[in-house]
Amino acid sequence: MVTLQEVISLLEGIASVKLEKDEELGENLAISRDRVVALAPEGAWERKLGAGRLVEVSIADFFPEVVRYGTEVVHVVFYLKYRFPKPVYDTLHGREVQEVSYRAIPLLAAIHVIKRLYGRVHLYLNSERPAPIIVRPNPLGQNKGFEIVIAPRIP
């Protein structure tokens, strides 16, 4: 049986993120300081978002994006962009969006960690609004392990 600490250790070693347990969120939950990566028992986000809105996607559905920040000192961040089949409404910004991006290194590390620990991986996105991508070992409804969620960047 995989423990929360095993998942945290592997993810931190690969993605250079620091995950901290958050007692306010729950005993088996951890989140990064920048709030981009979270770790929870499978089903946590499914319950929060509703399974009917989640669709399974493949890593091949994403394409690379390089984003440069800053003028004097340029910082380069790699993202993986997903294009929705039809525009979805972004409640945070009050507009429709066609695509969202996820930081590439945490997303690819999450996929690797789940595949390494469980031997399989499933990716789920909310089909109705921009939301975190869910990386988990089991199909929806089969909640036996841990899932990793990565927050989106909305261009």
State pLDDT tens for residues 74-116: 889 899 999 999 999 988 888 999 999 999 999 999 999 999 9
Find the helix or strand (DSSP H, E) in which 147 lies. Answer: strand 146-150
pLDDT for position 99: 94
Question: Which residues are paired to 67 by β-bridges?
Answer: 77
pLDDT for position 78: 95
Given a cut of 70, is residue 20 above it in pLDDT? yes
Residue at token pair 């590390």: 109
Cα(116)–Cα(97) distance, rounded to whole angstroms? Answer: 34
Predicted structure pTM score: 0.89
CB 79, CB 103: distance < 8 Å:
yes
Name the band, by pLDDT with cuts 50, 70 and 90, for residue 24: low
Q: At what angle do helices 104-118 and 4-15 cross, to 10 degrees?
A: 140
Name the band, by pLDDT with cuts 50, 70 and 90, for residue 23: low
Helices marked H in 83-145 — which ranges?
104-118
Given a cut of 90, is residue 3 above it in pLDDT? no
